[in-house]
Amino acid sequence: MTTTTVRAEPVEALRQAQGERFVFPIRVYWEDTDAGGIVFYANYLKFFERARTEWLRSLGLEQSRLREESGGMFIVSETSVRYLRPSRLDDELLVTAELESAGGASMTIAQQATLKGSRTLLCEGTIRICWVDTARLKPGRIPPIILQAINHTP
């Protein structure tokens, strides 16, 4: 019995062209919803993280590899999110990630989730991530390789 993949590479590494925001599509499944019939609000943090992860990957930054090579990782230190419109089972969302600011030890990423098609804004927020050493979780300076990759983003 042969086997077929229904889509090609889910995300291709790519550097965003100037003036573009990174956008990642996310489908709503049963696991994402709650008894209100809508996506459980805390799950937008998961959607945002998937988009951030793919944004970093698109810049050549894979977190598991960074961790092995540098002994450090990003952790989330602050989240600020507004939930504007509900989404539901089977909806397709487009989730953006855009660098808002980067310091020596932390970065803030602005993110939005919109409904594909109508482009209704569902949810938006900012996520601050800090660099820590993996073993002791002590804050440290973001490795230059990461800042370079991010700053070369137009």
Which residues would be at the binding site for a second copy (CB under 8 A)? 1-7, 9-12, 14, 16-17, 19-25, 27, 29-31, 33-38, 40-43, 45-46, 49-50, 53-54, 57-58, 62-65, 73, 75-84, 86, 88-90, 92, 94, 96, 134, 137
How many Cα atoms are found within 13 Å in the side-chain-facing hemisphere of 109?
25
Query: Is 90 designated active site?
Result: no
Helix (H, G, I), strand (E, B) or coil at 121: strand
Residues 6 or more apart whose CB falls under 8 angstroms from that of 104 comprise: 141, 142
Distance CA 25, CA 57 (A): 15
Shortest distance in whole angstroms from residue 44 CB to a second copy: 9
Residue 69 or 90: the one with the smaller Cβ distance to a second copy is: 90
Residue 40 or 104: the one with the smaller Cβ distance to a second copy is: 40
Q: What is the CA radius of gyration of the chain?
A: 17
Residue 69 or 78: the one with the smaller Cβ distance to a second copy is: 78
Q: Which of 32, 34, 90, 133 is catalytic?
A: 34
Q: Is the dihedral of CA 43, 65, 55, 131 positive or negative?
A: positive
- Residues catalogued as catalytic: 34
